[in-house]
Amino acid sequence: MTEVAGVVGESPTFRSVCREIARLANRAPEGHRMPPVLIQGETGTGKGLFARAMHQAGPRRGGPFVDVNCAAIPETLLESEMFGFERGTFTDARQAKPGLFETAHGGTLFLDELGYLPLPLQTKLLKVIEERSVRRLGSTRNIAVDVSIVSATAEDLQTLVRAGRFRPELYHRVAVFTLRLPPLRERGGDVLLLAEHFLAATCADYRLGQKRFADDARRALTAYSWPGNVRELGNVVERAALLSDVPLISAPDLDLPALMSGRAAAATDERPEEEPPPTPERAGLLEALEATGWNLSRAAARLRIPRNTLRYRMERHGLREPPPSRRLHVTRAREPAAAADSARMPAASVATLPLTVHRETRPIAALGAVVAAPPPQVSQILGMIAEKVAMFGGMVEEVGEGHMLAVFGRDTAEQAPRRAALAASAVRRALATGGASDAAVTQAIHVRDSLVGVVGETIAIDEDSRRDLFGTVRSLLGTAAPSAVVASQAGATLLERWFDIVPAADAQFTGGVYELTGPARAPFGVRGRVTPFVGR
């Protein structure tokens, strides 16, 4: 098995990319810059991992590796983050701050999603690359910088150049050497290799004991198209391993989405609108939107991008939500009979079913997260949290500057507290394995029986219940230690069955605060109280 900085594979296309990285790394003398490299590939193919692999294998492996997502940082902050600023440049500039170019001096600067860099900043970036110096905002002097530039994009930059959305001079500067990463669907047997790799890593990190895939799970893994590529595969395996209480993971445990046949939609009298030319990014966006029933929050979490970024990309690719009669309906692989029946139902009849309105009480779990990190990382971490929330069936309800609130159990009450806690654990694991050593994410969980209103497929939490849920979560976050995962007594009572829980030290909160220190180490199949619970 060939493994490069956490990327696993044996397919010919994978080996070819690894050989190109080795050739690049060996050509530059020790301590010198590598030529600028552009990595192209669909979302989730591992562009960031390959960029880090090039840095670690290259002549500047001892220097810093600094990554910036050009699509995640607001345009108003991007210039100051990249180039730095002097004291007094703007209202909050109480002291001078070096930019990312200065931070990466002597190492590698990774510019992810370069295609989303605004045109004015493209001009400034070109100047910095050509002159090998940077001028902070508010300064009159240039500072020499010596960095290796690695860029990545899911779009075709040459197409953007022809459309006037990307400067041709910058393209030629950053694409001296180009790596094209294949999508997972073109990597053959690597799907199972990666799945086994992710399963072993998940079991080790969560102390789950040894698990393996059943034959039907292996067939499902190889049959699925993986629009989210390696990232989606890793999330699916992690979720299945955590939610399965037996050592053998079967196909239903994977819970892979299966789009129904589009024949029903094609049977309508409506003429399809002319669509823009297909691109890998457009295809990935469309598949994520259709797989989530055009729910933008779920689609954004699935693609691991902020909701506003998804809206921008939809507009850029001319993607608009279709009318109900032309919308693909989503089912799950574990419900083949229901899928077949629905596929035979005319689309118009599905769209015109009478709506019913009723209210009911469900146990709803709320998860809150507060992010403390350098500004360039905050948006990326919030996107990662949204991905983990969606991974375990939750819904993001509120996103603000450095915080997020989500609920579990709105669609189904099945194990809502456990799913919220597993999402929190997955966030903590992603931070630990992703190298975000200077970031802290504090998380809190609260559970209560809440009144929900159901109108057709729309489910809304009663405002009083929502206010109480999120108010309690905010209070818990205010008392928790940085990077802790805490729960109210109501949440801890329901979670002690699966998790190690201890009273939180020095936390002042009515009813008590309890910290989740890790999944419970009970044998599979054990139910009921598995650890003593203190403080009830």
Please choose, from the candidates 167, 174, 133, 129, the residue with its C-alpha nearest in 3D space to the C-alpha of residue 150: 174
The domains of the chain, with CATH numbers, are 2-180 (3.40.50.300), 184-255 (1.10.8.60), 263-351 (1.10.10), 358-519 (3.30.70.1230)
- Assign 361 to helix, strand or coil: strand
Q: Cα–Cα distance between 423 and 151 in angstroms, integer? A: 31
User: For 313, phi and psi rounded to 5 degrees?
Assistant: -70, -35
* pLDDT tens-digit profile, the chain (536 residues): 444 556 788 999 889 998 888 888 888 788 788 899 999 999 999 999 999 999 998 899 999 999 998 888 877 788 888 999 898 887 777 888 899 999 999 999 999 999 999 999 999 999 999 999 999 998 889 999 999 999 999 999 999 999 999 999 999 999 999 999 999 999 999 999 999 999 999 999 998 889 999 999 999 999 999 999 999 999 999 999 999 989 999 999 998 875 333 333 333 334 344 455 567 778 888 888 888 778 776 777 677 666 656 766 776 677 876 654 344 444 333 334 444 443 344 443 334 445 556 788 889 999 999 999 887 788 889 989 999 998 998 989 998 889 999 999 876 556 899 999 999 999 999 998 876 667 899 999 999 998 888 765 567 888 899 999 999 999 999 989 999 999 999 999 999 888 988 998 766 666 789 999 876 544 344 444 334 444 43
DSSP annotation of 365 reads E
Instruction: Quote the pLDDT of residue 21.
Output: 87
DSSP annotation of 137 reads B
Neighbours of 245 (CB within 10 A): 13
Q: Cα–Cα distance between 393 and 416 in angstroms, integer? A: 9
Bridge partners, residue 399, by sequence:
404
DSSP letters, 17-86, are HHHHHHHHHHHSPTTSPPPPEEEE--TTS-HHHHHHHHHHHSTTTTS-EEEEETTTS-HHHHHHHHHEE-
Bridge partners, residue 85, by sequence:
97, 137
For the whole model, what pTM was predicted? 0.75
Helices (H), 109-214: 119-131, 157-162, 168-174, 190-206
Instruction: Quote the pLDDT of residue 357.
Output: 62
Please choose, from the candidates 461, 412, 469, the residue with its C-alpha nearest in 3D space to the C-alpha of residue 445: 469
Query: Which uninterrupted H or E stretch holds 429?
Result: helix 416-433
- Assign 245 to helix, strand or coil: coil
Instruction: Quote the pLDDT of residue 290.
Output: 83
